């Protein structure tokens, strides 16, 4: 009997969006449970580590977004074909995490002058991030494929998730990374998901 999956998170992309993309790319059905803010205090004690996202599989709950992503990627064949490929997937995932960590201070700064200075530093880091991703693409054969191996992996979906921030802040991709974005978004299952997912601010 197939496993049943439930994904708990707020009504936002946030830390659950890569997992949603994995489900979409794999064509696996799951229950996308979006907890509204006022309901979180009563829901919080029912979640392991009292955090979200949480993945529930056949009644067993798993916390921590990146643990969930890697579990699902292994389950659905999106984590590379070899141990070395899996390591390369991890490298891209951690690179994207570095990108979001550099963005975090900008998002939470209230003082406008300080925020402008942080934004300037963030913009200076963007080309560094893009070069690291593009270097990985070049190592995997360059222009016509994906980031790791011959087919879509968690690395590509994590990269795609980071582009929500690019769109929000008006950042521009290099030509090669823009082409990669189009290859990922043109995959039928991904295309269908992106068209149908709820509109949220974050």
Q: Which residues pair with 62 in a beta bridge?
A: 55
For residue 67, pLDDT beyond 90: yes
The CATH number fitting domain 83-187, selected from 1.10.287.10, 3.20.20.70, 1.20.1050.10, 1.10.3720.10: 1.20.1050.10
Are 158 and 181 a contacting pair, CB within 8 Å? no
CA distance 38 to 159: 31
CA distance 68 to 53: 8
Predicted local distance difference test score (pLDDT) of residue 143:
64
Predicted local distance difference test score (pLDDT) of residue 154:
98
Candidate from 81-90, 156-165, 167-176, 188-197 with smallest mean pLDDT: 167-176
Residue-range domain boundaries for the chain: 5-77, 83-187
- Computed from CA positions of residues 31, 166, 162, 106, in that sequence, does the dihedral angle turn out positive or negative? negative
CA distance 183 to 95: 20
* Average pLDDT taken over every residue of the chain: 95
Chain segment 89-140, per-residue pLDDT in tens: 999 999 999 999 999 898 889 999 999 999 999 999 999 999 999 999 999 9
Predicted local distance difference test score (pLDDT) of residue 144:
74
Those residues whose C-beta lies under 8 Å from the C-beta of residue 165, and which sit 6 or more positions away, are: 99, 100, 103, 171
N-terminal to C-terminal alpha carbon distance within the chain: 36
Q: Nearest Cα to 200, choosing from 37, 55, 42, 63?
A: 37
Extended beta strands in the chain, E state: 5-10, 31-35, 54-57, 60-63
> pLDDT confidence of 66, banded at 50, 70, 90?
very high
Predicted local distance difference test score (pLDDT) of residue 141:
82
Q: How far is CA 7 from CA 42, 89, 121, in A?
A: 17, 22, 35
Mean pLDDT, residues 56-69: 97
Predicted local distance difference test score (pLDDT) of residue 16:
98
Q: Report angle CA 76, 79, 81 to the nearest 5 degrees.
A: 100
Residue 71 DSSP SS3: helix
- What phi and psi values does residue 5 have, to the nearest 5 degrees? -125, 135
Identical topology for domains 5-77 and 83-187: no
> pLDDT confidence of 142, banded at 50, 70, 90?
low
Are 9 and 16 a contacting pair, CB within 8 Å? yes
Chain segment 3-49, per-residue pLDDT in tens: 999 999 999 999 999 999 999 999 999 999 999 999 999 999 999 99
Longest dimension (CA), the chain: 57
Superfamily of domain 5-77: Glutaredoxin (3.40.30.10)
């Amino acid at each position: 009997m197939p496993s049943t999956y439930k994904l708990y998170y707020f009504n936002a992309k946030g830390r659950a969006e890569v997992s949603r993309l994995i489900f979409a790319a794999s064509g696996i059905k799951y229950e996308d449970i979006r907890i509204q803010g006022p309901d979180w205090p009563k829901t919080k004690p029912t979640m392991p580590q009292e955090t979200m996202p949480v993945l529930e599989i056949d009644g067993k709950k798993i916390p921590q977004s990146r643990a969930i992503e890697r579990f699902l990627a292994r389950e659905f064949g999106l984590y590379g074909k070899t141990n070395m490929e899996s390591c390369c997937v991890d490298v891209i995932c951690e690179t994207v995490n570095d990108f979001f960590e550099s963005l975090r201070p900008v998002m939470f700064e209230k003082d406008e002058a300080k925020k402008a200075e942080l934004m300037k530093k963030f913009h200076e880091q963007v080309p560094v991030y893009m070069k690291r991703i593009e270097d990985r693409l070049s190592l995997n054969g360059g222009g016509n494929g994906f980031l790791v191996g011959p087919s879509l992996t968690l690395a590509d979906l994590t990269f795609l998730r980071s582009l929500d921030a690019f769109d929000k802040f008006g950042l521009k991709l290099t030509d090669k990374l823009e082409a990669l974005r189009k290859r990922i978004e043109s995959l039928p299952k991904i295309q269908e998901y992106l068209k149908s997912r709820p509109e949220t601010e974050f």
